[in-house]
């Protein structure tokens, strides 16, 4: 009896031991499967309005951008990132919904995206629906004018738990400045403003973003910060203008032997007529004011990076930095956006993604802004909605030497016609109204600013045929 009891007790101990060993092995296996790349918790998404790749980290010799350069040195800098539409509302709607402009139907700055897509789940909304605190400060979705001509932001209650915009103070509206067109174009003016950063909306956005980081550091957050400069009107605190003595500003000079631009390649109208009247002095002032806006925004980005340092958030936060599209500063005689030239389609993109292996490098793999949504969701372990039209570029974050996409697509409406452009590793190919209003072909091996249109050269008929097919694919 005693022996049996002992035997029974011994058997119980064996069973308990076996269970313990099993539980230990199971928990260890679970830890192994979950631990190598625990998903980062937070997202800091920085969108800069109208920022082209004029940054120190992109090789610009004049622009001072030490803080964005600092982020570039830490993360992965994309040398070939392309927006889908070179205008604020269509571009932002596209990358914040993960859908191409043909799908969103948003092709101008007038229509809030919810009017066309009441049920779409936006990128910040996806995080919000997964329990994140989501906040948007400054310009994330577009701002536009209401029927009375008042400026309104296309705020989206489904996307943000907290969404705010800021106004310049009275001091921030005073200073030295002038219209560059004798008042003909209201937007085309600069102001070296009195007051500090916080007298401007972007300075206030940065300050509030830091407050939110401090408040929400211990819970998952998706924080969008949209800086409005270097967008026009070119207002920034005076000290950022002082970084750029006007007489030292270099000007773009279109080559004499370039192919004339096609009629639809650059918009006609009042803007162009005013640009044609610019003196070199005005050209230098325009560039200087745009650069001052970049350096002002760069300083605000620096404050956010400092906050990530201080709050020890780098290991748990994905940081994405983009411009919403590029810009011309006199190239092709144009001083604005709304073209599908490389200068407008290409945009800065820098990503810091903890846990990936390629940080601190750059990549020439092609990516599109429509890829941002699935990439950010992927990095944070969230399943995106079905039907997104981009793909995650996480593999490039692990290995920046990999090949990216075969092609990037950018489109723009010009009057009654659509221009569609595709960029491959070597070429840019553009059709206006399916080619009926003109075709462009540029060889980026020798012509980075796209001054020599080769589309009608019979020696390039094979590549034109190939690119025509890629353009028809449309990225789908």
CB nearer Ca ion, residue 88 or residue 168: 88
261 belongs to the binding site for Ca ion (CB under 5 A): no
**Of 87-95, 219-227, 248-256, 272-280, which segment contacts Ca ion by CB under 5 A?**
87-95
88 belongs to the binding site for Ca ion (CB under 5 A): yes
| Minimum separation from the CB atom of position 324 to Ca ion (A) | 4
378 belongs to the binding site for Ca ion (CB under 5 A): no
| Minimum separation from the CB atom of position 458 to Ca ion (A) | 39
345 belongs to the binding site for Ca ion (CB under 5 A): no
DSSP string, 321-375: EEESS---SSGGG--SS---SHHHHB--EEEE-TT-S-TT-EE---EEGGGHHHH
* Known catalytic residue at 476: no
Of 88, 188, 344, 380, the catalytic one is 88
SS3 217: coil
**Of 50-58, 132-140, 365-373, 388-396, which segment contacts Ca ion by CB under 5 A?**
50-58
| Minimum separation from the CB atom of position 88 to Ca ion (A) | 4
The residues near 259 (Cβ < 8 Å, ≥ 6 apart) are 451, 452, 453
The residue written with tokens 């789940």 in the block is: 121
**Of 83-91, 105-113, 260-268, 378-386, which segment contacts Ca ion by CB under 5 A?**
83-91
CB nearer Ca ion, residue 88 or residue 379: 88
377 exposure class (CB count in 10 Å sphere: 0-12, 13-18, 19+): buried
| Minimum separation from the CB atom of position 452 to Ca ion (A) | 28
* Known catalytic residue at 163: no
CB nearer Ca ion, residue 166 or residue 227: 227
Strand-strand pairing, 427-432 and 417-423? antiparallel
Q: What are phi and psi of 457, to 5 degrees?
A: -80, 115
**Cβ atoms of residues 234 and 331 within 8 Å:** no
DSSP string, 287-322: HHHHHHHHHHHHHHHHHHHHHHHHTT-GGGEEEEEE
Question: Could you tell me the CA-to-CA distances from 347 to 30, 67, 326, 332, 453 in Å, in that order?
Answer: 41, 17, 5, 18, 22
**Of 6-14, 28-36, 81-89, 100-108, which segment contacts Ca ion by CB under 5 A?**
81-89
Judged by CB under 5 A, how many residues of this single chain contact Ca ion? 4
For helices 201-216 and 280-310, give the axis angle rounded to 10 degrees. 10
**Of 45-53, 68-76, 197-205, 340-348, which segment contacts Ca ion by CB under 5 A?**
45-53
d(CA 459, CA 389): 34
CB nearer Ca ion, residue 102 or residue 324: 324
CB nearer Ca ion, residue 234 or residue 429: 234
| Minimum separation from the CB atom of position 118 to Ca ion (A) | 24
**Which residue is nearest to Ca ion, using beta carbons?**
88
d(CA 226, CA 234): 16
49 belongs to the binding site for Ca ion (CB under 5 A): yes
**Size of the chain, expressed as the number of residues it contains:** 476
Query: Of residues 45, 50, 102, 190, which one binds Ca ion by CB under 5 A?
Result: 50
Here the tokens at position 163 are 């969404």
d(CA 243, CA 363): 30
CB nearer Ca ion, residue 88 or residue 96: 88
Of 53, 83, 142, 380, the catalytic one is 142
**Window 305 to 344, contacts with Ca ion (CB under 5 A):** 324
d(CA 338, CA 27): 56
| Minimum separation from the CB atom of position 51 to Ca ion (A) | 8
| Minimum separation from the CB atom of position 109 to Ca ion (A) | 9
Residues serving a catalytic function are 88, 142
Under the rule (CB under 5 A), what is the footprint of Ca ion? 49-50, 88, 324
């Amino acid at each position: 009896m005693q022996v049996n009891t002992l035997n029974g007790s011994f058997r119980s101990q064996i069973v308990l031991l076996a269970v313990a060993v099993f539980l230990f092995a199971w928990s260890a296996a679970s830890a192994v499967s979950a631990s190598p790349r625990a998903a980062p918790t937070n997202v800091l998404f920085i969108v800069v309005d109208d920022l082209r790749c004029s940054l120190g980290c992109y090789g610009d010799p004049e622009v001072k951008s030490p803080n964005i350069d600092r982020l570039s040195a830490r993360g992965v800098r994309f040398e070939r990132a392309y927006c889908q539409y070179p205008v604020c509302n269509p571009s932002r709607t596209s990358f914040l919904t993960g859908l191409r402009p043909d799908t969103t139907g948003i092709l101008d700055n007038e229509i809030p995206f919810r009017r066309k897509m009441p049920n779409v789940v936006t990128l910040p909304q996806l995080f919000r629906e997964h329990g994140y605190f989501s906040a948007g400060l400054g310009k994330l979705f577009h701002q536009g004018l209401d029927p009375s001509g008042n400026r309104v932001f296309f705020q989206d209650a489904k996307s943000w738990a907290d969404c705010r915009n800021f106004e310049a103070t009275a001091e921030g509206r005073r200073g030295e400045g002038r219209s560059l067109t004798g008042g003909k174009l209201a937007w085309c003016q600069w102001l070296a403003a009195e007051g500090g950063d916080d007298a401007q909306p972007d300075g206030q956005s940065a300050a509030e973003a830091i407050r939110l980081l401090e408040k929400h550091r211990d819970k998952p957050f998706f924080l969008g910060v949209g800086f409005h400069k270097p967008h026009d009107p070119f207002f920034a605190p005076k000290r950022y203008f002082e970084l750029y003595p006007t007489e030292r500003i270099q000007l773009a000079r279109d080559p004499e032997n370039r192919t004339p631009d096609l009629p639809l390649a650059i918009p006609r109208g009042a803007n162009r007529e005013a640009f044609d009247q610019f003196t070199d002095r005005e050209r230098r002032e325009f560039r200087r004011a745009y650069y001052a806006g970049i350096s002002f925004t760069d300083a605000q980005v620096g404050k956010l990076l400092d906050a990530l340092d201080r709050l020890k958030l780098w290991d748990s936060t994905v940081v994405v930095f983009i411009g919403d599209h590029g810009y011309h500063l006199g190239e092709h005689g144009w001083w604005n956006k709304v073209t599908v030239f490389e200068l407008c389609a290409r945009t800065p993109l820098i990503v810091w993604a903890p846990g990936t292996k390629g940080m601190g490098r750059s990549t020439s793999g092609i990516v599109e802004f429509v890829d941002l949504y699935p990439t950010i969701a992927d990095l944070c372990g969230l399943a995106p909605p079905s039907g997104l039209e981009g793909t995650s570029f996480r593999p490039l974050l692990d290995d920046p030497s990999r090949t990216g996409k075969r092609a990037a697509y950018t489109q723009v409406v010009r009057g009654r016609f659509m221009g569609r452009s595709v960029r491959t590793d070597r070429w840019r190919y553009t059709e206006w109204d399916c080619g009926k209003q003109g075709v462009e072909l540029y060889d980026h091996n020798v012509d980075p600013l796209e001054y020599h249109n080769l589309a009608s050269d019979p020696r390039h008929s094979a590549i034109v045929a190939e690119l025509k097919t890629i353009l028809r694919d449309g990225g789908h």
